[in-house]
């Protein structure tokens, strides 16, 4: 009986992914059912395709979503749960993926939790941050974007926010889709 329930749940999850992203998108991205996790706010999906921040953002928008915002501890927990089921491709032990947080030049501030960064949704609201490093004023003159890292071996820095050059390609991105 449990096997039947698990099979039905797997079929339903896969069907949802197919409907959500279109059959060709699912095949092209090699999505697995463990690459997405849905809750009452929508679905989080991790895509493993090396891209710059802007290219990742565009890809999410083309699919009807946005780069994921992590404004609350619950969002971070959902992403951690998603990553606990993700099968890292090609025997990789560490990956970095973009989230929807960016800062334009000369927007640095130490008085706000996001340090002058804005979500790709256009706001700076947040109840949660998880910076790995202190902000460096010397990096305020260039655009910066934020990725989170995940390692299967050294887990102390998992899901910490790392700001870096937006033009560098990282291993993938987190997308969020609302109104499922």
Q: What is the reported pLDDT for 171?
A: 92
Domain assignment of residue 47, given as a range: 2-177
In this prediction, residue 157 carries a pLDDT of 83
Confidence of residue 2 (pLDDT cuts 50, 70, 90): very low
Report the candidate in 29, 30, 162 with the shortest Cα–Cα distance to residue 94: 162
What's the pLDDT at 30?
Answer: 52
Query: Taking Cα atoms as reference points, which of 9, 39, 20, 54 lies closest to residue 173?
Result: 54
Q: How confident is residue 89, by pLDDT bands cut at 50, 70 and 90? A: low
- Give the model confidence (pLDDT) of 132-174 as tens digits: 988 776 777 889 999 999 888 778 888 999 999 999 999 999 9
Q: Mean of the pLDDT values across residues 81-97?
A: 77
Query: Cβ neighbours of residue 11 under 8 Å, at least 6 residues apart?
Result: none
CATH of the domain at 89: 3.10.100.10
Total domains in the fold of the chain: 1
In whole angstroms, what is the distance from residue 67 CA to residue 14 CA? 21
């Amino acid at each position: 009986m449990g096997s039947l329930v698990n099979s039905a749940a797997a079929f339903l999850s896969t069907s949802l992914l197919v409907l959500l992203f279109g059959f060709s998108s699912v095949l092209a991205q090699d999505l697995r059912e463990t690459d997405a996790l849905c809750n009452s706010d929508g679905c989080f999906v991790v895509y493993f395709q090396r891209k710059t921040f802007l290219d990742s953002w565009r890809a999410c928008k083309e699919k009807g979503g946005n780069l994921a915002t992590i404004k609350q501890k619950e969002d971070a927990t959902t992403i951690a749960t998603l990553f606990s089921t993700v099968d890292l491709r090609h025997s990789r032990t560490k990956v970095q993926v973009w989230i929807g947080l960016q800062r334009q030049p000369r927007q640095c501030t130490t008085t706000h939790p996001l340090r002058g960064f804005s979500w790709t949704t256009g706001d700076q609201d947040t109840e949660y941050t998880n910076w790995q490093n202190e902000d460096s004023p010397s990096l305020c003159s260039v655009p910066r974007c934020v990725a989170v890292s995940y390692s299967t071996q050294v887990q102390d820095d998992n899901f910490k926010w790392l700001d870096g050059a937006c033009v560098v390609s990282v291993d993938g991105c987190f997308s969020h889709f609302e109104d499922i």
